[in-house]
Structure 1
Amino acid sequence: MMTDTPVEDQAEHPGEPIAVHAAGTIPWRRDADRLEVLLIHRPRYDDWSWPKGKLDPGETLPECALREAREEIGVDARLGLPLPTTHYRVSAGLKAVSYWAQQLNGSARARPDGVEVDQTHWCSPEEAALLLSNQVDAEPLEALVEAHRNGTLATRPLILLRHAKAKPRSSWTKAEGDRTLAASGVRQAQAVGRLLTVWKPLRVATSPWRRCIDTVLPYVRASPDKVKIRLVEDLTEHRAARRPRKAAAAVVRLFDKGKPALICTHRPVLPTLLDEFRTFLDPGLASKLPTSDPYLAPGELIVFHVPVEDPARVVALEQMKPYDD
């Protein structure tokens, strides 16, 4: 949880190392056609803010953001668009807080935990901007409002994942499709599973080779939702090399299904899939895609954010690694 009071804005300290990493969300909903956001009141500081807190050991920033929302207001909705990171000075030094939009539907009830948070308040963005105690917290709010104005705030995630670290190819004597994860890859797959709970994909398209299946199974088994797995032979190294258009078609199917989804494959297949994703990107986003081998490290993923109202378009992307022990 947050334990420091902001002192001054980071703009006066360019290039200063970050001493404290934190993450949070801006919960939002639509009341008819009106946008509302959720502020929290923290009795310790008597301030109005967003759900947020410091990174725990062994945690990524998206996991931290989701955990803080769950702990402080009792919601577990998937994260949406990444929002601007705020910077300000605290007693320990420069603090950076990464934010994500978090849509709450009608069944999601935000309840203060009674310790860190004693009140919640749904309000218009205009009212929120006036109530926020730390004005730097208005920066991610402004981006959220702009996305709502553009019709790109409500999104679903499409995730491209490279399987976790496998046993060395040079020492494997059995069929290539049976090559298993290394011991570190097994741990990495567990970390991937925890990271994927941030976006909660409901469909998984994966190469049927064992190292891919073993990478996604921890998430599928732990998910409280019914996750549909589809084994796609065209995503294997051998098939994709012979018929790359068939592999690329797996990406198109993700867009067509209209559901939060994940595709898991191998390093040699990544450039084919990235080229297909590139055709859906808004201008300016293509430069953010990896362009050289190995494209993604084992267990690394890219989240493509697709507007619900414009399902053949990517308006934001983020590249993430699970925590690596």
Structure 2
Amino acid sequence: MSAAPGPEAGPGESVPADIKVVAAGAICWRTRNGELEVLMIHRPRYKDWSWPKGKLDAGETTPECAVREVQEEAGVRIRLGIPLPATVYPVASGMKIVHYWAARIEEGKPEPDGKEVDGVRWCSPAQAHAELSNPSDRQPLRALVEAHAEGRLRTWPLIVVRHAKAKPRSSWTRAEGDRPLAATGLRQAQAVSRLLAAWMPVRVVSSPWVRCVQTVRPYVKSRAVKFKTVDAITEHSAKRKPGKARNAVEALFDKAKPVALCTHRPVLPLTFEVLARHMPAGLSIGLPDKDPFLAPGEAIICQVSAAEEGRILSLERFRAFDD
């Protein structure tokens, strides 16, 4: 989740004041013959079995860190799923927090990096529970097992992004739809690309206005994903015909595949109205309800159930780099 920056936090994230070290990781899972399995790593330095995880690099969000650490330590590219409970425990410099996600492997075959990790293995949750060296690592495992039992592990991400910082309206004299990103916004767009890559949307839907297209262009080009512009989610169209804007957001659920939507601040309330219909009441209260709703380049990430059509199971919020 995101808020104001905290100690060693990534951009747009907060941690309690007593936390001195922020890290992130993931529990990769699969089913074999109908049985749940999880991926563990062995670290020779600590002589322990644990989950792939590590500290944030400078300018990195926790989702980006989790994906990078799994790739570095286990040799696979993952797509993040539902968030799992974070663990907090003491280290030499103070208290450490590790943020976790459930994750599916999208590219590669698990193998150790040969440096920090000398072994990887798939095992049952019961085996993992017995072999985990740090007792706190069992907390996210228990949550993952519970989610699997309740059919909440198989999900796909739906991401809503507010476009990055644009040139000021006051200094723009041409058509509003042609107003581009500011220099800061162009840098934000690169950060948005890195953030989106943690969930690997396979299609991107955007307002056709220049500042939205520029925001998602780096991701679209880097991943060669399907890209579509929709007039209904421009500021002007949404104001005149809000029903069409809502329908455009509702259509994101139709294909049940990972998707990102980029739109404008004035369109966000309509967007969130639609998302709220797909959420339990206790989850929908987490949607932003005050202007400006999201900061430029900020994103809402929903995990949508693959089993219960259109049902949103989790809600997260992260902000891309802003200088």
Q: Does 1:251 align with 2:249?
A: yes
Q: How many residues align?
A: 308
Aligned-residue sequence identity (percent) comes to: 56
Q: Does 1:268 align with 2:266?
A: yes
- Residue 277 of structure 2 aligns with an amino acid whose one-letter code is T
- Residue 76 of structure 1 aligns with an amino acid whose one-letter code is R
* Unaligned stretches of 5+ residues in structure 1: 1-14
* Unaligned stretches of 5+ residues in structure 2: 1-15
State the TM-score, normalized to the length of structure 2: 0.93
Deviation at 1:53, TM superposition (A): 0.3
- Residue 241 of structure 1 aligns with an amino acid whose one-letter code is K
Deviation at 1:324, TM superposition (A): 2.4
Query: What is the SS of the residue equivalent to 2:21?
Result: strand
- Separation in 1 of the partners of 2:322 and 2:128? 37
Aligned to 2:291: 293
Alignment of 1:304-315 (within 5 A): 304-315=302-313
Provide the aligned C-alpha RMSD in A. Answer: 1.1
Deviation at 1:312, TM superposition (A): 1.1
In 2, are the aligned partners of 1:103 and 1:154 still within 8 Å (CA)? no
Query: What is the SS of the residue equivalent to 2:77?
Result: coil
Aligned to 2:320: 322
Aligned to 1:149: 149
Q: Does 1:237 align with 2:238?
A: no
Query: What is the SS of the residue equivalent to 1:288?
Result: coil
In 2, are the aligned partners of 1:285 and 1:317 still within 8 Å (CA)? yes
- Residue 323 of structure 1 aligns with an amino acid whose one-letter code is F
- Any idea what the Cα deviations from partners look like across 1:87-143, whole Å, max 9, x if unmatched? 0000010100000111136x7410110111101121111110110000100011111
Query: What is the SS of the residue equivalent to 1:69?
Result: helix
Aligned to 1:277: 275
Deviation at 1:282, TM superposition (A): 2.4
Q: Does 1:69 align with 2:70?
A: yes
- Separation in 2 of the partners of 1:267 and 1:69? 34
Alignment of 1:18-97 (within 5 A): 18-97=19-98
Aligned to 2:6: none
- Separation in 1 of the partners of 2:159 and 2:235? 19
- Evaluate the alpha carbon distance shift between residue 145 and residue 228 of structure 1 in structure 2; reply closer, same or farther with a 3 A threshold: same
- Separation in 2 of the partners of 1:109 and 1:148? 23
State the TM-score, normalized to the length of structure 1: 0.93
- Residue 17 of structure 1 aligns with an amino acid whose one-letter code is D
- Separation in 1 of the partners of 2:92 and 2:36? 35
Query: What is the SS of the residue equivalent to 1:318?
Result: strand
In 2, are the aligned partners of 1:16 and 1:94 still within 8 Å (CA)? no
- Residue 35 of structure 1 aligns with an amino acid whose one-letter code is L
- Separation in 2 of the partners of 1:160 and 1:136? 33
In 2, are the aligned partners of 1:80 and 1:101 still within 8 Å (CA)? yes
- Separation in 2 of the partners of 1:315 and 1:192? 23
Deviation at 1:287, TM superposition (A): 1.1
Aligned to 2:5: none
- Evaluate the alpha carbon distance shift between residue 207 and residue 16 of structure 1 in structure 2; reply closer, same or farther with a 3 A threshold: closer
Query: What is the SS of the residue equivalent to 1:81?
Result: strand
Aligned to 1:117: 117
- Residue 19 of structure 1 aligns with an amino acid whose one-letter code is K
Deviation at 1:323, TM superposition (A): 2.4
Aligned to 1:98: 99
- Any idea what the Cα deviations from partners look like across 1:19-42, whole Å, max 9, x if unmatched? 000000001101021000011100
- Residue 72 of structure 2 aligns with an amino acid whose one-letter code is E
Q: Does 1:189 align with 2:189?
A: yes
- Separation in 1 of the partners of 2:68 and 2:321? 15
Deviation at 1:208, TM superposition (A): 0.2
Alignment of 1:134-213 (within 5 A): 134-213=134-213
Which runs of at least 4 in structure 1 moved beyond 4 Å after TM superposition?
Answer: none
- Separation in 1 of the partners of 2:44 and 2:322? 36
- Residue 246 of structure 1 aligns with an amino acid whose one-letter code is K
- Separation in 2 of the partners of 1:174 and 1:192? 26
